[in-house]
Amino acid sequence: MSEQRPSENSRPGTPPPGVDGGWTRWDKGASPSPPRPREPRRLFLWIFLAVQALFVIWIITGSVNSTRSAGKSCAGLTGQDFTNCINAGHVGTTIGIGLIVGLWAAVDIILGITYLIYRLSRRDQP
């Protein structure tokens, strides 16, 4: 029995010999596949994440600057006065951070309602 060596063009995934070097379609009668639908750009997601990043940066810088300035404003005080001054600075920082978090929540609610209205307006009508 003689062994036949496979030709280069008999590998799986290659066209049969004599078909334009493998650059033509095998199924010339088939219709081309429909174009893929374009994915949404998710612009709202990036805007939402940017807003979140801005609020986080605002909270971090606010608390760091408040801690730094507390030592300067309480300079020259001693004993109970110094302790009261530092504690008052911490209370002020807590109130400020609370106001920022409240504003953050309000902005997130407004963004969420805006997104829902946008999605409802783009929905296919029956």
pTM (two decimals): 0.60
Residue in the block written with tokens 């209205």: 117
Residue 27 banded pLDDT, cuts 50, 70, 90: low
The CA distances from residue 30 to 33, 38, 77, 122, in Å, are 9, 23, 88, 34
Strand segments (E) across 6-120: none
- CB 112 within 8 Å of CB 47: no
pLDDT tens digits for range 54-98: 999 999 998 888 877 777 788 888 889 888 888 888 888 899 999
The mean of the pLDDT values for the chain is 79
Of 5 and 120, the one with more pLDDT: 120
